[in-house]
Amino acid sequence: MQGQTNTFVRPAVKSLRKTMTDAEQKLWQRLRREQLGCKFRRQHPFDTYVLDFVCLERKLVIEVDGSQHVENHQYDEIRSAKLSIAGFTVLRFWNNEVLTETDAVVQMIWNVLNPSPPQPSPYAGCP
């Protein structure tokens, strides 16, 4: 997504890729190489932000939050709103959630990427 990143964010991206948290590393092992059917990027710059993980094709952002986000929830809400305006869906998970319930987290991501088709009402056509 060329032209959407401020240049001051780019130097941080390389550093963040090298210093991913344990939770980010664990989730990255499940997202990389199109294991969920689409390509994810890690520590991807967008505007003034660095997104933990993003699937540009599906416009899905995944953020893995640590304890510092408890105090910064207003910032996170503004950030999510800006990403939503840009057309992204944002999923947020806590570090401990990713570390202890990895399969459930991956299943939630899968469900967002592959929504179930609407089912007809069992009462359709009944008198």
Provide the residue range defining the domain that includes 42: 10-113
The backbone torsions φ and ψ at residue 42, rounded to the nearest 5 degrees and listed phi first, read -110, 150
Give pLDDT tens digits for 59-97. 999 999 986 655 678 888 999 999 999 999 999 999 999
Residue 123 lies in a domain: no
Q: How far, in Å, CA of 127 to CA of 114, rounded?
A: 34
At position 124, the amino acid (one-letter code) is A
Cβ 58 vs Cβ 38: under 8 Å: yes
Residue 14 lies in a domain: yes
Give pLDDT tens digits for 4-50. 555 556 667 666 777 799 999 999 999 999 999 999 999 999 988 99
Determine the pLDDT at residue 126.
59
Residue 126 lies in a domain: no
Residue 88 lies in a domain: yes
Residue 104 lies in a domain: yes
Residue 76 lies in a domain: yes
Print burial letters for 28-45: b (CB count within 10 Å at least 16), e (below 16).
bebbeeeebeeebbbbbb
Residue 2 lies in a domain: no
Which CATH number is 45's domain given? 3.40.960.10
Residue 91 lies in a domain: yes
This prediction has a pTM of 0.81
What value does the CA radius of gyration of the chain take, rounded to a whole number of Å? Answer: 17
